[in-house]
Amino acid sequence: MSQSVAIRVLIVDAHPIVRQGLAAMIENESDMTVVGQAGNGQEAIEQYRQLQPDVTLMDLRMPQMSGVDATVAICAEFARARIIMLTTYDGDEDIYRGLHAGAKVSAQGR
């Protein structure tokens, strides 16, 4: 019987409470684990380089460097990066920018 390997997740969001909530939900799953967290795009790039997670949950709008800019930088360096763009904004332009930057999926929350 083979053991499954947990999906390694990096959480990137400007709001600590959102990061904590996402981490709690993910850690509650037996096949997923949070390997890192970042509060802005620059931290996301640094964490991604160090951890190379299986999946990154990336907030669209953050201070210092946006999720879109961080996604562009990560995807330029790691072509196989899997980034899910998170946003509470419902504008098509924001979603388009995230997907065009290299995100694989855009998830809206309220």
Residue range 55-84: mean pLDDT, rounded: 92
- The answer to whether residue 46 is domain-embedded is yes
Whole-prediction pTM: 0.85
Q: What is the CATH number of the domain that holds 41?
A: 3.40.50.2300
- The answer to whether residue 37 is domain-embedded is yes
DSSP states of 11-64 as a string? EE-S-HHHHHHHHHHHHTSTTEEEEEEESSHHHHHHHHHHH--SEEEEES--SS
Domain carrying residue 27? 7-60+67-108
Question: What's the pLDDT score for residue 54?
Answer: 98
Question: What's the pLDDT score for residue 61?
Answer: 83
- The answer to whether residue 2 is domain-embedded is no
Domain count along the chain = 1
- The answer to whether residue 74 is domain-embedded is yes
